[in-house]
């Protein structure tokens, strides 16, 4: 569902040094990089979930919609931030009857809690050029702080303009979000979430 601004400061000369130090024209200085804002492309972004069924196999589902923004600074992770919102009603299991049950109060309770969301509170450099993102994850009316490892898949600047892509896989315990239906019976408590984002510069 958490990269840099380089600030150049002009050097001031003092005393006799001012007589011997050449003046650098401001136009010759490299321009500062700015944090860029991107909007999530819902068509090319994915939110998937995986849960154990009957202690026998894994069941997969997806959310058909996603929106949000991210501020990206390629050289300073602390300048980065991320906001993701996923409509609970967009949950899609591939079966209409099951979808109705998953949207009911037994699971997502989509009418009362219409949004599954994540808002970053801290972004740090991670391993292999990735990021360590901490933020508030909101599900079923409960908000908890989580930290996930995020892969920077790639960046491009083509006919669609500047694009960036990120990917993460993490696991939550749904009982911590008061989603208890089926636990200890047909369904597991752990849910693996896969979030893949493609975003275009605004």
Rounded mean pLDDT of 17-33? 42
146-159 burial by CB neighbour count: b if 16+ within 10 A, else e?
eebebbbeeeeeee
Tokens matching residue 168: 């993460």
Name beta bridge partners: 60: 50
The DSSP line for 140-166 is TTEEEEEEEEEEEEEEEEETTEEEEEE
Task: State the sign of the Cα–Cα–Cα–Cα dihedral 111, 45, 81, 177.
Answer: positive
pLDDT of residue 16: 31
pTM: 0.81
Say which DSSP state 159 is in.
Answer: T
pLDDT of residue 156: 96
What's the CA gap between 137 and 112, in Å, rounded? 17
Q: Which residue has the tokens 């995986």?
A: 50
Class of the domain covering 17-201:
mainly beta
Radius of gyration of the chain (CA): 22
Q: Which of 72, 82, 81 is nearest to 3 (CA)?
A: 72
Confidence of residue 133 (pLDDT cuts 50, 70, 90): very high
pLDDT of residue 190: 98
Please report, for the chain, the start and end positions of each structural domain, with discontinuous segments joined by +: 17-201
Q: pLDDT for 162-193, tens place per residue?
A: 999 999 999 999 999 999 999 999 999 999 99
Q: pLDDT for 137-146, tens place per residue?
A: 999 999 999 9
The DSSP line for 73-114 is -TT-GGG-EEEEEEEGGGEE-S-HHHHHHHHSTTTT-TTTS-
Question: Is residue 108 over pLDDT 90?
Answer: yes
Question: Is residue 4 over pLDDT 90?
Answer: no
Question: Is residue 81 over pLDDT 90?
Answer: yes
Q: Which residue has the tokens 């006799």?
A: 16
Rounded mean pLDDT of 96-123? 98
pLDDT of residue 22: 43
Tokens matching residue 195: 């979030």
pLDDT of residue 34: 82
pLDDT of residue 33: 60
- Tell me the average pLDDT of the chain: 88
């Amino acid at each position: 569902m958490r990269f840099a601004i380089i600030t150049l400061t002009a050097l001031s000369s003092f005393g006799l040094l001012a007589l011997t130090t050449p003046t650098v024209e401001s136009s010759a200085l490299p321009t500062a990089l700015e944090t860029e804002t991107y909007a999530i492309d819902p068509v090319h972004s994915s939110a998937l979930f995986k849960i154990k069924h009957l202690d026998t196999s894994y069941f997969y589902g997806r959310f058909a919609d996603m929106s949000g923004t991210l501020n990206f600074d390629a050289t300073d992770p602390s300048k980065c931030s991320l906001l993701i919102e996923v409509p609970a009603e967009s949950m899609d299991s591939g079966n209409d009857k099951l979808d109705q049950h998953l949207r009911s109060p037994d699971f997502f309770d989509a009418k009362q809690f219409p949004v599954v969301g994540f808002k970053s509170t801290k972004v740090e450099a991670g391993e292999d050029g990735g990021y360590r993102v901490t933020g508030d994850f909101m599900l079923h009316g409960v908000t908890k702080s989580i930290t996930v490892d995020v892969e920077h898949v790639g960046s491009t600047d083509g006919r669609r303009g500047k694009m960036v892509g990120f990917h993460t896989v993490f696991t939550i315990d749904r009982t911590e979000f008061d989603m208890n239906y089926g636990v200890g019976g047909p369904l597991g408590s752990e849910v693996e979430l896969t979030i893949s984002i493609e975003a275009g510069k605004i």
